[in-house]
């Protein structure tokens, strides 16, 4: 392969890698380390996936040593009642905002510690390295925010 062709191939590869990294940073899809907003302890790893432009998040691993590995959502009031938290879908029906490419909303999030389901708004920050997860009742002003850290 001649030098000019090699440089072109390298440049194309670099452009492709940069484009893919930028696309990932503008999506909440991926693995996230959840951090408790009160205790600042690492709680779990949640995998967010996208299917047909709808995002869902599932607990992939429990990190808090105080949480039993076989913990169940005893306070849940829906189909998740008494189901294992590990493998549980806690984030459902979230869609990209039409106004802001870094904001995702419209779904709900479950707090397995108390069984309550909240409306949710996600906002990518730090170029997609962190995710502000705001659970709320009624309007976003009435809620709390956790900042999750991208794990992959």
pLDDT tens, position by position, 26-41: 899 999 999 988 889 9
Mean pLDDT of the region 135-140: 90
Number of C-beta neighbours around residue 120 at 10 A: 25
Q: Taking residues 6-11, what's their average pLDDT?
A: 47
Share of the chain above pLDDT 70, in %: 84
43 near 32, Cβ under 8 Å?
Answer: no
Which CATH number goes with the domain that contains 55? 2.40.128.520
For residues 99 and 109, the answer to whether their CB atoms sit within 8 Å is no
Q: What pLDDT does 8 receive?
A: 44
Q: Considering its fold, how many domains does the chain have in total?
A: 1
Residue range 80-136, pLDDT digits in tens: 999 999 999 999 999 999 888 999 999 999 999 999 999 999 999 999 999 999 999
What is the extent of the structural domain holding 134? 28-150
In a domain, 21, yes or no: no
Residue 17 φ/ψ, nearest 5 degrees? -65, -40
pTM of the model: 0.81
Look at residue 16 and tell me if it is in a domain: no
Q: What confidence category does residue 25 fall into, taking pLDDT thresholds of 50, 70 and 90?
A: low
Instruction: Please tell me the predicted confidence (pLDDT) of residue 2.
Output: 60
Is residue 105, in this structure, part of any structural domain at all? yes
**What pLDDT, on a 0 to 100 scale, did the predictor assign at position 24?**
43
Of the chain, the percentage scoring pLDDT greater than 90 comes to: 70
Does residue 1 belong to any structural domain of this protein? no
**pLDDT at position 5:** 45
Identify whether 114 is part of a domain. Answer: yes
């Amino acid at each position: 392969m001649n030098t000019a062709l090699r440089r072109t191939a390298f440049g194309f590869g670099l452009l492709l890698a940069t484009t893919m990294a930028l696309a990932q940073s503008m999506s909440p899809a991926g693995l996230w380390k959840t951090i408790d907003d009160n205790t600042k302890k690492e709680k779990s790893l949640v995998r967010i996936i996208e299917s047909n432009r709808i995002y869902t998040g599932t607990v992939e691993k429990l990190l808090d040593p105080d949480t039993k590995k076989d913990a169940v959502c005893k306070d849940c009031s829906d189909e998740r009642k008494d189901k294992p938290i590990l493998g549980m879908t806690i984030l459902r029906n979230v869609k990209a905002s039409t106004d802001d490419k870094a904001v995702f909303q419209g779904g709900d999030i479950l707090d397995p510690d108390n069984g309550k389901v909240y409306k949710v708004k996600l906002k990518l920050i730090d170029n997609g390295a962190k995710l502000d997860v705001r659970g709320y009742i009624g309007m976003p002003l009435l809620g709390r925010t956790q900042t999750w850290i991208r794990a992959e």
